Amino acid sequence: MTALTERQIQIVRTLVESAPDKVVGSLRQALADTSPESALGGVRQLVEAEAADRTLRNLALLPIAPMCVAASEDSQAITFPPRVLNLIWRALRETHGHIIEQLRADVDDDSPPHNIIAASDQLVAAAAAGVRAREIAGFRTAAEVCDAARPDGADLLADCLDLGAIVRRAAQRLPEWLAHAGGETTAGARLAYRDAVAIADDAGPRFFHMLAAQMPQPWMVLRVISAVMDKPTERYLADSELAGFGEDLMADIDRALGAIATLKADDGVQAARAAAQGVDLLVQQLMEMETSVDLQREHGWGLRVHKQRAGLASVVEGRLRDAEKAVHEALPMNTPRQRARRPMPVLSDPPQDRLTARAMTLLSFNEQLHATANYGGFSAARNKLMESLGEHIDQYVDETIDQIRTGEVENIEHAEAFLGVAARLNQLLRGGKAGELVRRRTQAALHPEQPGRNEEWPLR
């Protein structure tokens, strides 16, 4: 394969420079094993250089980098069009290229952090001035793009850049602030907030929006707000300029509740596990609201959060009831007319794949709730389900194996298939070696001539 021409390389360079960070990262991984001497060697070097430059860009412009993402209609978060980041960086290379190269050298040489921070702060300050002046093409275009995205968007971008140095230092302490409330943590958060509002009286919300963008879960910024405001009452926070943070979180909870409520048994195991992860996140969010804000259950935010908790428990308990029904359908037992007789497994037909899949889906949902149930308010319902289904599976397995051993089973192949289903469901319900024990008992009943094993059954 012949090497690319200079024109082709230039086309590739243009495409790479305009590609999102994730695409550049994927290209870098895909070309990692490409030899420098191969036809794609030049492309690999180009992609690696672009990836390294973006890493430096994101370091220098850290205070606003995570804010340059597509806007969400459901959130009050401050965002800027993604291309703004590259426009500012190119303008800085034109006007402050020497600082960028010094920063690059400092990073490559592992210079002291204060040198890297100082150079980065210079670039952020220069970007703020450039966006306001609009004299350089890159800064001017960035300002116009921001204005097109929202009214006075360029002014908002410049105002955020003004807080860059404060946000950069606060971001370094975020793990500490989130993990350890009180004491020095609270003092540090309040000091950073004070520095922010010293720059502009209305800088408080911007400061917290910028901090939220630095977090893997932006709603956790409520913890910092609570530290700064000394766990405000819901009325005080709801009437303040920071009310949007609480309202956004409660709106997120409502949307997630709606999504979880749509889970159906036919959606599959992957969807069930995703829904259970959503439940876990919801519980964390509800606890965050309750911990960060002084809520009153009788009205306002407190009443809304209380209803959301009740709604979550209701949705989850509904899926658990569906799970019980699905397992009974997957492992059917007839109801004898005489009360003195026990229910017996129905083995006249083979297991139905759809019914088995439905039971697997809902038991997978139940399985993923083990760490969340106590905090979510549905542990009693889950424990009841575990006990009820455990008894059903035990009885089903015992009766089926007894029929096999006594020769009363009407279809040995159906019985073996149903016991395989029971093993899979038992594994999801109880974990450990529960499924393997059912399989061992099945083999012992089907092949009594083989050496016996300790059955260790039932699991109670």
pLDDT tens column, 418-446:
999 999 999 999 988 999 999 999 998 88
Quick check: 340 pLDDT over 60? no
- Rounded to whole angstroms, the Cα distance separating 95 from 450 reads 83
Question: Is residue 414 a part of any domain in this protein?
Answer: no
Query: What per-residue confidence (pLDDT) applies to 389?
Result: 95
- Rounded to whole angstroms, the Cα distance separating 356 from 349 reads 14
Question: Is residue 199 a part of any domain in this protein?
Answer: yes
How much of the chain exceeds pLDDT 90, in percent? 72
**Helix or strand or coil: residue 40?**
coil
Question: Is residue 114 a part of any domain in this protein?
Answer: no
How much of the chain exceeds pLDDT 70, in percent? 89
Select from 199, 228, 257 the last residue of a domain: 228
Indicate the pTM of the whole model. 0.82
| Torsion angles phi and psi, residue 345, rounded to 5 | -60, 140
With cut-offs at 50, 70 and 90, classify the pLDDT of residue 11: confident
Quick check: 455 pLDDT over 60? no
Question: Is residue 224 a part of any domain in this protein?
Answer: yes
Residue with tokens 């550049």: 24
Question: Is residue 400 a part of any domain in this protein?
Answer: no
- What average pLDDT does this structure show over 25-40? 69
- What average pLDDT does this structure show over 245-261? 94
Select from 190, 208, 228 the last residue of a domain: 228
Name the residue among 389, 398, 390 with its Cα closest to residue 345: 398
pLDDT digits (tens, 9 = 90+) for 136-185: 999 999 999 999 999 999 999 999 999 999 999 999 999 989 887 777 77
User: Which ranges of 180-268 does DSSP label H, i.e. alpha helix?
Assistant: 184-199, 203-213, 221-229, 234-238, 243-261
Quick check: 48 pLDDT over 80? no
The number of distinct structural domains making up the chain is 2
Query: What per-residue confidence (pLDDT) applies to 2?
Result: 58
Query: What per-residue confidence (pLDDT) applies to 50?
Result: 76
Query: What per-residue confidence (pLDDT) applies to 264?
Result: 95
Question: Is residue 37 a part of any domain in this protein?
Answer: yes
Query: What per-residue confidence (pLDDT) applies to 457?
Result: 46
Query: What per-residue confidence (pLDDT) applies to 451?
Result: 61
Question: Is residue 33 a part of any domain in this protein?
Answer: yes
Select from 175, 202, 228 the last residue of a domain: 228
**Cβ pair 21, 27 in contact under 8 A:** no
Question: Is residue 439 a part of any domain in this protein?
Answer: no
Name the residue among 260, 265, 262 with its Cα closest to residue 277: 260
- What average pLDDT does this structure show over 331-338? 78
Question: Across the chain, what does the average pLDDT equal?
Answer: 89
pLDDT digits (tens, 9 = 90+) for 51-93: 888 899 999 999 999 999 988 776 788 999 999 999 999 999 9
Quick check: 352 pLDDT over 50? yes
Q: Which residues pair with 345 in a beta bridge?
A: 333
Helix (H) or strand (E) holding 333: strand 333-334
What is the extent of the structural domain holding 13?
A: 6-60
